[in-house]
Amino acid sequence: MRSVQLLSGAMLGALLLSGCAGTAPNGQPEPGMPGALEFISPVPEPIRVGYAGEDPADVARYLLASGAQGAALSPDGETLAIRWSITGAPQLWTLPALGGQPQQRTFGNGITFFAWSPDGRSLLYGADNDGNEQESYYALSLAEMSERRVLRSVEGGFRQFGDFTADGGQIAYSSTERNGLDFDIYLASFATGASRLVYEGKYAFQVQAVSPDGARLLLSEAVGEDSDNLYLLDAASGERTTVSMPEPRANHTGGGIAWSADGLSIYLSTNKDREFAALVRYDLATGTFTDLFSVDADVENVRLCGSAGSFLVWTTNESGVSRLHARSMPSGEMIPAPQLDEGVFSLNCTGQSNRLAIVIDGYDTPGDVIVWDLGTRAVTRAFESNLAGLAKNRLVKPQSVKMMARDGVELQGLLYLPDAGSNAGGGLPPVVFDVHGGPTAQSRPSFDGTAQYLADRGIAVFQPNVRGSTGFGRTFVTLDDREKRLDSVRDLIDMLGALKAAGQVDTSRAAVLGGSYGGYMVNAVLAEYPDAFRAGVSLYGVADWITALEVASPALKASDLIEYGDINDPEWRTFYAVNSPIRNADKIRVPVLYSHGAMDPRIDIAETEVMVRALRANGIEAPFIRIPDEGHGWRKLSNRLFYFRRQAEFLEAQLAKQEP
């Protein structure tokens, strides 16, 4: 076997900058362009879902299963807006709050976010160009069924919507349009789009909420992937005052923020001075935090509902599963929560209605919406997700599995085990490790069509939460920072060993899969531990941290400094010159399926291209799917169908039992 040359910085830079130049749309090299990278590009193909009772159904049926990917009640609580991808792209839909026929309100490539105007007459939404994350903002009038552009996209201008002012006259947002790097704070007229810069930021500043009188903006400043500082900004003068800038760092915005109706208090969750995020109240007059609720789990989804904030609601993340809590503010008494399907919840309510919208994303529920009236306690299933004919009793409930790493750190993951009917061949099933991105994210028991498909094909799926994942305390999330990066890669090997010892899966037939940071983990573990897995699947992952950190999108720059170190510092350039997957690519000995969206603003497609070139030069099978009209992930159904069929075929072929 030939060994790939260890690339110098200059040689690697040339490879990364070359991209796909000289490559025709069909993936074949253009005449006169030697060495151009061949790839597979999606083409339209039939859905072929198979019959509902077919065993198993085509992967398309699992991809067609869909539900609400977010919900928001109109200010009066009478109308529900949802983001739904039933037509093949994420679009905006509305329906009566207590149930009824959904009406599609947007068309085209899909939306990125949405929010009600304070008067309830319009919806603001964002849309970008094929996943490039450079948004334009639009206003949709429901009464007139008319649409107008509020803000045009700006090249290099990444935006993050913050909030409306209470009178609906202005929107507050952050944007990099001044210099292409730093997120500044803007206020724009909702009627005309005329905007003004109110604060020049540095790296990642974001508007979290606007005070009820519109005079102050609550800002966050990213400090690593998992933490932030909080500030108050005077909208007129641009003067900034500090709310919380703790040392060690802490998170204040991951669990939602609610400004009291009188403007005197802010309700939020924070892990400041503790392991898990607690529910707290910040008093603006005294500048003090008061604890309201805490357990050994993170508080999430903090919301104030009803007139004058009559009800305070929140959830707790308990081993990945959401638990709902509610309190009457006048009496201070807890309100018994209704019995809900198990899953991951998101909450939405308004200051004019007692209704609370709860989106439930569970292993067998792709996004139902429950409306709970906090006053009458009435519970209504306003929107039911579509399982595309899949039998609910065939969907596998993942098991929560805990295990110890070799250095004593407790790890956790979710294991989808095929049932006896799916594991027709008998014996232990093969297993696919599906590693989440982030790295500060968490594998939780939400609906996962591809995991369910593999389980129905007799392949177990394990979704690990290695060190650095959220949901397990503030200390745990820091255990992969900077020089400890490869400790999280090693966790995958320790978890594989624990599964082997448990005897539930055949670890000699194991593959590793992941997207974004998970794609990096695939590249890294195959290079560092070449004998552990039989195959890999890397979606839009990092090959070289030096180039990846140099060209990272502005939204990631600030967090990268804490998570990975300053790439302009010689210490970290030296570290990643050794500890990046491309530097050890000659050790990879198994087939790897690669894919990347050409419009990806977060991880440049060159990161995938250089890995494909390195493996192919080494005689290793490395098919490459390049999707021209996607960014950091696949939004469009046509691309999802094409890609996940190839992924399923690749995994099934690589994990098949080998004849003696």
Q: pLDDT tens, 354-364? A: 999 999 999 99
Query: Is-contact 555 204, C-beta < 8 A?
Result: yes
Average pLDDT over every residue of 219-232: 92
Residue in the structure block whose two tokens are 């792209």: 89
Query: Is-contact 433 496, C-beta < 8 A?
Result: yes
- What is the secondary structure of 498-525 as a DSSP string? HHHHHTSS-TTSEEEEEETHHHHHHHHH
Res 424: pLDDT: 66
Res 238: pLDDT: 93
Res 27: pLDDT: 42
Does the pTM surpass 0.85? The reply is yes
Res 588: pLDDT: 97
Res 49: pLDDT: 56
* H or E segment to which residue 2 belongs: none
Res 420: pLDDT: 80
Res 10: pLDDT: 31
Q: Is the pLDDT of residue 294 over 50?
A: yes
Average pLDDT over every residue of 593-620: 96
pLDDT category at 554 given cuts 50, 70, 90 is: low
Omega cis (within 30) before 248: yes
The 10s digit of each residue's pLDDT in 574-606 is 998 899 999 999 999 999 999 999 999 999 999
- Of 189-193, 319-323, 546-550, the range with the lowest mean pLDDT is 546-550
Q: What percent of the chain has pLDDT over 70?
A: 91
Res 11: pLDDT: 32
HEC string of 142-179 equals: CCCCEEEEEECCCCCCCEEEEEECCCCCEEEEEECCCC
Question: How high does pLDDT run on average in the chain?
Answer: 90
Q: What percent of the chain has pLDDT over 90?
A: 77
pLDDT category at 659 given cuts 50, 70, 90 is: low
* Separation CA 196–CA 212 (nearest Å): 20
Tell me the backbone φ, ψ of residue 617, rounded to 5 degrees: -65, -20
Dihedral sign for Cα atoms in the order 165, 170, 173, 179 = negative
pLDDT category at 386 given cuts 50, 70, 90 is: very high
Q: Is the pLDDT of residue 489 over 80?
A: yes
Res 422: pLDDT: 81
pLDDT category at 57 given cuts 50, 70, 90 is: low
Q: Is the pLDDT of residue 52 over 50?
A: no
Res 482: pLDDT: 81
- Of the two residues 565 and 474, the one the predictor is more confident about is 474
The 10s digit of each residue's pLDDT in 109-161 is 899 999 999 999 999 999 999 999 999 999 999 988 899 999 999 988 899 99
Give the residues across from 141 on adjacent strands: 122, 146
Q: Which of 7-16, 49-58, 344-353 has the highest mean pLDDT?
A: 344-353
pLDDT category at 31 given cuts 50, 70, 90 is: very low
Average pLDDT over every residue of 615-621: 97
Res 596: pLDDT: 97
- Of the two residues 384 and 59, the one the predictor is more confident about is 384
Map residue 350 onto helix, strand or coil. coil
- Of 55-69, 423-437, 497-511, the range with the lowest mean pLDDT is 55-69
Average pLDDT over every residue of 401-412: 97
Res 483: pLDDT: 84
The 10s digit of each residue's pLDDT in 423-470 is 767 789 999 999 999 888 999 999 999 999 999 999 999 999 999 999
pLDDT category at 47 given cuts 50, 70, 90 is: low
Cα 546 from chain centroid (whole Å) = 23
Beta carbons within 8 Å of 332's beta carbon, 6+ residues apart: none
